[in-house]
Structure 1
Amino acid sequence: MQKFRLRQLNNLSLEILTAIFLIVAVLSQQRILPQGLYLGFILGFFVFFLPGLLAINWIWLKNDWTPFQKLPIGFGLSLGIGVIPTFLAFSLRWSIDTFFWIYLGLILVNLGLSIWRKLRVGLQNRHGYLSSYRTLLKSVRRNLLLVIWSGGCLVGFGVVFARKFSLTEYLHGDNWFFLSFIQRFIHQPYLSPTDPITGSESPVFNYSYNVYLAFGALLSRISGVEVVDLLQFVLPIIFVVTTLLTFLLLGKLLIRKWPILLLTSVLWLSYLAVLQSRQFFTRLSEPKYVIYFILIPLVFYFIIQILKDQKLVFFVILGGVLLGLANMHAASIPYVFIAILAFVGLNLILNWKKRKRNLKIIKGFIITGLVLAVLV
């Protein structure tokens, strides 16, 4: 009986975490909990990851992803899921508090669908959160020196970020646009797509109806974290971790052994930190940098999966990620689609004899593209 209960707890671990996060979010939004940076990190998971993670459960319950692989996928999918309510929030002039309750409802719907799907299928998730942590601990014991070295690198990133590239030394000009928009989203009676800097009544390209900025405003509102701290401290740390997990996800297609994969990903993260210098830390909260380091690798992960196995679920999740990407930074759309066309086109040419498979891939991309075109 005890083993059965533990197994059920493992299967519903995400749903239990979701319920806890919902309670914390409501208490924080009502100013019952003491607010601060710690709430920014906790509720950052609630805002940017939960909808996508829950959606994965009812879209494709029989997946083989571990929780660590699901996190970047959940992030990309959450942005896509949030596009429609964000558009409605701006169009119908909702306040940021109204947007919070609508977003809460969206998570509850995903939570209900996730539980319903698990109860209906009755599947034991062999990659539940509790079992994954036990597996992780075993792997840590076997590869202790490598883990210590990799962890030291990550701690080093944190020290460099905190001491050398802090906000007191540097603030990039683009961040002033985001600060202005998010501040107005929080303090105005309703969400408005117009330009807060020049006072123009026209929507601003790349900033208006933006799901990422709306999520940032929502996180600042419910956690009590000032917008400056949010953009320069909370979000960069969350996204450094997400960047590492995205590299692990993509690299797993090429490198099967986790210790070697972890080492490679940390080295890649080190390379980016050195190459980008302070901009990797101080600008990682900007939409285009989120696209560069998280969403584009995520897009190519699903393209590779589609080329290997033409499952409908891969097209659905890829479409969600691309929808969020297109909404976050519209100027990136042509470059991303050119890269996709070149990558997929070359694969189709090299595999020209597999006509049935190629036709299925082409049909899937055409349908996905048409749906995205209508939504965008």
Structure 2
Amino acid sequence: MRILQVTHYTLPHYGGIEVVVENLARQLAQRGHAVRVLSSRAGGAAQEERHGVEFVRVSAWNPLERYAVPYPLFAPSLIPQAARLARWADIVHGHGFLYQSTLVALGIARIQGRPTVLTEYAGFVRYPRRVWNALQLVAIHTLGRLAVALADVVIVHGMRAHDLIRRLAGSSKAVRLIPLGVDTERFHPAAPEERVGIRRALGWDDRPRVLFVGRLVPRKGIEWLLDALDPRYELVLCGRGEMTPPARHGLRIYRSPDDTTLLRIYQAADLFILPSHSEGAFPLAAQQALACGLPVIAVYDPLYDPYVHPEVVRWVPPDPTAIREAIRELLDELAGPRKEERRRKAREWACARLSLTHYIDQHLLIYDLLQTNRRKG
């Protein structure tokens, strides 16, 4: 099967959607499918092949990233590139219902008679600036509604996005809820002696490391983490975004680390912290942490319930004092005899409940059904 994935950004531009699309494309290629990915050009070559996947990137302007709004404005060459790739494809799959790339690709695919799939991740994302929230609502009810109408099937990863899509689409649209999956073969714990070597290579001392991975933007709860800093541990932030925290004792920042470095950071850390809000589902970064055997502390969101359980995630309220106390308590526990048990449970949960294999299987079932329907039609 020839499958075109369309997204706003791809790696090395780091973000949750970028990682999901990378995993999906790579796994589909490993199963023998021909996969191409169309995106904006942000930090990557105009065209390259990686993991058996062909990446095509179009020039784009990114004026809104300074406001933590990941919305590239594509050059007009997006249209002929999307038309060329859609003609090649058996399935056209767009990611993110407001992005120009998704709307153009799905529209062209419908004109050409290609089956179309749309994945929406978070739905409405609340920003600190009211103007962005107002503009987003307008876009959702215009561009978002159009993208949903252009898709034969819509995939979501959490109930917040599901409920929004259902309101936009009505009861007749096929909406599939598929939990995100993590690559547990790639993300795995390091052996104890290997972990010591990784920490030494990273320049870390014996202090515990509390890790956050994600965009450095206000809705991720970064300010709560900074207010919760404590001499007992070092806070490690990995990501990019509008926030530039001032240099502080006990704070280390990695701006967009490469894939290998990020994996090593997961393997070297002691626990993972998730203070964000307005997520569409349990974030992939937290799933990767569990796969690497890291216990997780998270600000509670009922949307996380289908993914995890208090057995592997400790819930906290959105308060710096509560976050600091939870980190201290869990570090005390990890310093005792339960350390290996907690790490083992995190790993086992990721392997049993958050499998990337199931995620890919569900996508292929949808693709196959659309192909069958097309042949019958």
Q: Please report the TM-score for the alignment, with normalisation by the length of structure 2.
A: 0.25
Q: Please report the TM-score for the alignment, with normalisation by the length of structure 1.
A: 0.25
Indicate the structure with greater helix content.
1
Indicate the structure with greater strand content.
2
